[in-house]
Amino acid sequence: MQTSKKSLKENILLVGFPSNGLVGTFTVSYLIHHLEMSQIGEIEHPDLPPTLFVENGEILPPIRIYKKNNLFVILSDLPFDPFIAYDFAESIIDYAKKNLIKKIIIISGMETINKDPKASKIYGLVTHKSLEKLLYDFRISKFLAGSIFGTDAAMITSFRKSQIPALILYAECHPFFPDPEASIVAITTLARVLDVKIDTGDIQKKIEWLRIQHRNLMEETIRSLQQEKKVGRPPQIYR
């Protein structure tokens, strides 16, 4: 993995959490692994269910903070409801201010009934006009019309009120199954934005394994999304 001098000029924070297709979880986890980022902290919330994960014999909290050079990452392995999402977003903003973060990037999945199974599209949404040029420079289609509800809406609402601009990358995905193919699109787009080189060959070789491995997390995420649907629908572009 190589980074250019240009990418080292400002601190950037990536955020990923379980959502449609587990796109955010797949994408951010992959980046953490390939950049060999170090865990430097965690985020706790009293309303989260008591949960720990074990990976290679190491005990991990559900919401972790990683860092390498100018790149910071906050990754949640637990889906959460919109009420906790407000607190989660505020914690992210506080952390960003303390660490002089200049830009926040959130990766998520967008349910769509018209997805091309061989080529997921990705759309960008920005909270501040200062990031509009970024969409143009990297040829990311702008999210032009639609509705956002639930956890995503709660977080974006908080980010809009912050002085730190945020970019939300939405990859078209299947809403009910882990979608590694959509994550590959998100990973390659994110690599261009961050100016890093990433080889996604190993994901392509393990697509079916990844779907099976993350089946339980997808079931938990679906339950969370179904709670959101009592109020509205998750992010979707109008066709």
Convert the pLDDT of each residue in 182-207 to its tens digit: 888 888 898 889 888 877 666 655 54
pLDDT at 167: 93
Please give the residue range of the domain that contains residue 14. 6-237
Mean of pLDDT values over 79-101: 85
Give me the CATH number covering residue 120: 3.40.50.10900
Residue 95 lies in a domain: yes
Per-state percent for the chain, helix, strand, coil, to nearest 5: 40, 25, 30
How many folded domains does the chain comprise?
1
pLDDT at 10 over 60: yes
Residue 17 lies in a domain: yes
Lowest mean pLDDT among 82-96, 114-128, 133-147, 150-164: 114-128
pLDDT at 71: 93
Q: How many CB atoms lie within 10 A of CB 233?
A: 15
Q: Which residue has the higher pLDDT, 211 or 86?
A: 86
Residue 188 lies in a domain: yes
- Token readout for 137 is 């420079």
Residue 65 lies in a domain: yes
- Token readout for 231 is 């109020």
Residue 1 lies in a domain: no
**pLDDT grade, residue 232 (50/70/90)?**
very low
Residue 217 lies in a domain: yes
Convert the pLDDT of each residue in 113-149 to its tens digit: 665 656 678 889 898 888 888 888 898 888 877 777 7
Q: How far apart are CA 108 and CA 24, in angstroms?
A: 5
Convert the pLDDT of each residue in 204-221 to its tens digit: 555 454 444 545 544 554
Q: Mean pLDDT of all residues in the chain?
A: 76
DSSP string, 126-138: ESSGGGHHHHHHT
Residue 232 lies in a domain: yes
Q: What is the pTM of this model?
A: 0.79
**Distances from the Cα of 149 to the Cα of 15, 105, 130, 170, 171, angstroms:** 18, 19, 24, 14, 16
Residue pair 217/153 in contact (Cβ under 8 Å)? The answer is: no
pLDDT at 96: 92
